[in-house]
Chain A
Amino acid sequence: DTGVSQNPRHKITKRGQNVTFRCDPISEHNRLYWYRQTLGQGPEFLTYFQNEAQLEKSRLLSDRFSAERPKGSFSTLEIQRTEQGDSAMYLCASSSRGWGDTEAFFGQGTRLTVV
């Protein structure tokens, strides 16, 4: 078990381009979460999946953002027509039970820079 894996680790893109990030959770974890962290702030919730079902979405997740977890395993987060305000660290986490258990793990994140 190698933990939660996120790719790429870093992404620099021009404003207006589309980007896609991937998260591979710990195997057999049925819950997967996406968070966004900007400089000097704590992580902010974006969305949550239980298996392949997207059960919660934040108002932060504008129409330009879409997340999928097609087979209940890995997940992708796509940002269309990126803006400079999208520059942030995007974190993925997975668990087999709810928050508060030591089984909830974060990945190392994907740092997005929009220039």
Chain B
Amino acid sequence: DQQVKQNSPSLSVQEGRISILNCDYTNSMFDYFLWYKKYPAEGPTFLISISSIKDKNEDGRFTVFLNKSAKHLSLHIVPSQPGDSAVYFCAASDPIQGAQKLVFGQGTRLTINP
């Protein structure tokens, strides 16, 4: 039962353009959402998060949008830079299952082309 889904395994974007990574979830009890970035041979690195009481959170080039009615969130990166090439994971937490238990999606490999 995949509660958090990233349906695009890969995405290729031109440098300077906008990258949009999508994530869908099924559990309506999720109340906190996070995006992580992972380079090869390294652990995931926290990027940005959003609480379910908000619909947008922005941090520099990164913006996360949350659409609770559609159970959908997206990460926008603008402008995209070559160093953004990595695997991106979205994750969610459910206070009922345990707030410390993050549920991750399968990841999307982002490639920024020069």
Chain A positions near chain B (C-beta within 8 angstroms): 4, 31, 33, 35, 40-45, 48, 55-56, 58, 91, 93, 98-100, 102, 104-109
Contact = CB atoms under 8 A, between A and B. Distances in A.
The 4 A-B pairs of least Cβ separation, nearest first, read A42-B104, A106-B43, A48-B100, A100-B49
Given A43-B44, A108-B43, A100 B32 contact: yes
Nearest to B6: A42
B43 A45 contact: no
B102 A45 contact: yes
A42 B89 CA distance: 7
A99 B43 contact: no
A102 B101 CA distance: 17
Given A42-B104, A48-B100, A56-B100, A102 B46 contact: yes
B98 interface: yes
A100 B101 contact: no
Interface string B24-51: 0000000010101000011111100101
Given A31-B100, A43-B89, A45-B101, A99 B34 contact: yes
Task: Identify which of A31, A40, A45, A56 gathers the most chain B CB atoms within 10 Å of its CB.
Answer: A45
19 contacts: A4-B43, A33-B100, A40-B9, A40-B106, A41-B104, A41-B106, A41-B107, A43-B102, A44-B104, A45-B103, A48-B101, A56-B100, A98-B99, A98-B100, A102-B46, A105-B46, A106-B45, A108-B42, A108-B43
